[in-house]
């Protein structure tokens, strides 16, 4: 179930693309967000715990974005942001933003289902606020 708070990042990505951002800028912003998430969550869940959430989030968004989750077939269990960036930059800006946003949104929803929405918001607030150089979009009506 999609929450308004998890939707904020997707709205922000849509606005970045509408503003004419190149796919490399979109990919960089998504990777930086994942790094911020790593900083926020790894001390609590550990690297393996975050990697498991990262891969599960990829799995959850694979139906809508199969190109994004194509690397799930391998036995790699880590969070490979270099590979994520390569996969994102192989798409156009809008497709990369949609897939990257869905992946981040899936993480937010998954984490929320495990620890609750309030704690999820607290844990991810800094990563969400740092995304794309400012606070996430507040207009959720789009």
pLDDT tens-digit series, residues 31-89? 999 999 999 899 999 999 999 999 999 999 999 999 998 767 666 678 889 999 999 99
In a domain, 47, yes or no: yes
Domain tally, the chain: 1
Instruction: Spell out the long-range contacts of 78-85 with Cβ–Cβ below 8 A and sequence spacing 24 or more.
Output: 78/47, 78/51, 79/34, 79/38, 79/47, 79/50, 79/51, 79/54, 79/55, 81/31, 81/34, 81/35, 84/27, 84/30, 84/31, 84/34, 85/27, 85/28, 85/30, 85/31
Residue 98: the pLDDT is 93
In a domain, 136, yes or no: no
In a domain, 111, yes or no: yes
pLDDT at 25 over 80: yes
**Res. 2 pLDDT band, cuts 50 70 90:** low
- The whole domain housing 22 covers 4-131
In whole angstroms, give the CA distance from residue 55 to residue 103.
9
């Amino acid at each position: 179930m999609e929450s308004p708070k998890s939707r904020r990042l997707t709205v922000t990505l849509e606005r970045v693309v509408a503003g004419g951002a190149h796919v490399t800028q979109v990919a960089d912003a998504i990777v930086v967000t994942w790094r911020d998430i790593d900083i926020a969550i790894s001390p609590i869940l550990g690297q393996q715990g975050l990697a498991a959430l990262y891969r599960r989030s990829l799995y959850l968004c694979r139906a809508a974005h199969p190109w994004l989750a194509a690397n799930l077939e391998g036995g790699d269990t880590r969070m490979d942001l270099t590979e994520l960036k390569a996969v994102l930059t192989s798409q156009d800006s809008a497709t990369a933003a949609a897939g990257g946003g869905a992946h981040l949104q899936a993480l937010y929803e998954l984490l929320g289902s495990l620890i609750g929405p309030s704690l999820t918001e607290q844990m991810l607030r800094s990563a969400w606020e740092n995304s794309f150089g400012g606070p996430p979009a507040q207009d959720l009506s789009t």
